[in-house]
Amino acid sequence: MCRSIKTLRRAEEPATDEEVAAAALQFVRKVSGYRVPSQRNREAFDVAVGEIAEASRRLLDTLAAAR
């Protein structure tokens, strides 16, 4: 996967929203093959980043609650 995406589940401190968004952006860049999407693909790119960030936050919150 992306070497620049770091593990966000940490015992000492929860991931920040900025860290979650950055990881989502890196994931979408990797999957789409775009570092910066064309104007035509910008909306789809941004929606994907938002959805992945939301899903990641839900996952992290659920995992933290299960500890």
Separation between Cα atoms, residue 6 and residue 14, nearest integer Å: 13
Q: Is the pLDDT of residue 1 over 90?
A: no
pLDDT digits (tens, 9 = 90+) for 10-47: 878 889 999 999 999 999 999 999 999 999 999 999 99
The total of structural domains in the chain comes to 1
pTM for this entry: 0.84
Structural domain of 66: 39-67
Phi-psi category of 26—alpha, beta or left, where left has phi over 0 and alpha has psi -120 to 50? alpha
Residue 45 lies inside a defined structural domain of this protein: yes
* Any domain includes 60: yes
Q: Is 66 a member of any domain?
A: yes
